Structure 1
């Protein structure tokens, strides 16, 4: 018996309905699949950095720094003070800093390349540019004229720089560079300490303590610009500048450790305690 037009329409409608339902199911599966992929990417991204940090740290642990230079006992205690100058970019003019050598403050908008680890006495990058590197989580080893006049100690510092070569592992964010002391203070920059000894005394005063006495004087400084005043490992620093009553807590901190001579052992301990991850811009090179 021939189908009637009404039966044909019903069959056609039923077929269209089934096709629509299949399309909806495919769309639902696709949405679920996309959501699953996005979820995996989010979880993966969240897991990547801790895994990468662990891997970077493992590779950093393999670097033999402790055998270079003097033992860590040539260094005084770490000192922590409030920092300023985050995201304060100034591309012209000299900038007055408040510590000797500088730990933080306004800076140029473009940092120095990570590839360069050691700066000789006469070939240092612009100070204001290097402070931008500090904001990115670099550790600096500053040395003064006394060290420059000691070729053995300069060789040790250059050797430290060679141990920390590379740009793929951000644990290697490090620069060794000269500090010229009084020559750095130009124009109205009269508040700067003229040498590291005076710089140590100024910072110790901010923490409410007397400056430690280092046998042989103060000729090297390790610095780091941190977002958290608590170190990644070990005990909290003893010399921390208190926040004045009524003032807001600082949003970042300057960490400095003065030494009488270069010490790879002290540097490694310092970089483990204050890694690049503890900075305001850790993922910027």
Structure 2
């Protein structure tokens, strides 16, 4: 008579398979948890790097601005002898205290202007360098000329190196409206405003007057100097020759 199967053997065989599956699942779970920990650590590391970069960038900008504001004008752009600057030209001045309503079209001759009728309020001195996107109206900036500013009109499609050099020049000036040595604004002259001198990328403009008799319009002149390339030394020389004190209303903001 054949003895019956031993049930204990079947239980042992089944239990071994079950144990094997449990071990495999446990190993898979452990590997999954390890992978999750690695991914979490990597994500934390990325966040730390990004946070550090975001916090460092403003510091970098402050340092760059500090370096720019303390730069020597003569070190910016090309040497004055290499700037391709024409001799200074003078033009009869007009428009002293001639305020026109905002939005009124004004045609200037010469263009870019160095004097003329203008809007009632000058541009604030919160910016030294304007782009096409944020530049005030030309007639607003002409009012700044009346108050002794030198406006550096530039061609917006000038070589990037020239535009960067002019922006660096602008950063050397502080934000004080009333410091007579700091009245400088760089602003683009677009094709919509009129023609720009051929072969030139910058026109320095100033509205002069006799400091002893600033209101005498017969002694007022517009002065300009057109340059092919930006030279901080040329800008400094122009400002020294035509300071803000030699203007119709030097004490205006």
Using the size of structure 2 for normalisation, the TM-score is: 0.65
Looking at structure 2, the residues matched to 253 and 175 of structure 1 have their Cα atoms a distance apart, in angstroms, of 19
2:190 alignment partner in structure 1: 180
- Checking the alignment, whether the CA contact within 8 Å between 1:228 and 1:253 is kept in structure 2 is no
Deviation at 1:65, TM superposition (A): 0.3
2:86 to 46, 51, 76: 76
Shift of 1:249: 8.2
- Structure 1 position 151, deviation (Å): 2.1
Relative contact order (alpha carbons < 8 A, sep ≥ 6): 1 or 2 greater? 1
Superposed structure 1 runs of 4+ greater than 3 Å apart:
none
For the pair 1:227 / 2:205, whether they are aligned, the reply is no
Structure 1, unpaired ranges of 5+: 1-61, 186-193, 198-216, 230-247
The separation in 1 between residues aligned to 2:217 and 2:203, in whole angstroms, is 26
Taking the aligned partners of 1:161 and 1:138, their CA distance within structure 2 comes to: 13
Whole-Å separation in 2 of the counterparts to 1:279 and 1:63: 27
CA contact (8 A) 2:147 2:251 kept: yes
1:67 to 75, 79, 84: 75
Q: 2:169 aligns with which of 148, 152, 160?
A: 160
* Partner Cα distance (2:217, 2:247) in 1: 16
* TM-score when normalising by structure 1: 0.58
Count of matched residue positions in the alignment of Structure 1 and Structure 2: 176
**Partner residue in 2 for 1:117:** 128
Given the alignment of the two structures, is residue 107 of structure 1 paired with residue 118 of structure 2, yes or no?
yes
* Paired residues for 1:17-96 under 5 Å: 64-73=72-81, 74=83, 75-92=85-102, 93-96=104-107
| Distance in structure 2 (CA, Å) of the matches to 1:261 and 1:127 | 22
Q: Which has the larger radius of gyration?
A: 2
Q: Over residues 88-129 of structure 1, what are the superposed CA-to-partner deviations in whole Å (9 max), with x where a residue is unaligned?
A: 000141111111211110001110112210001322111111
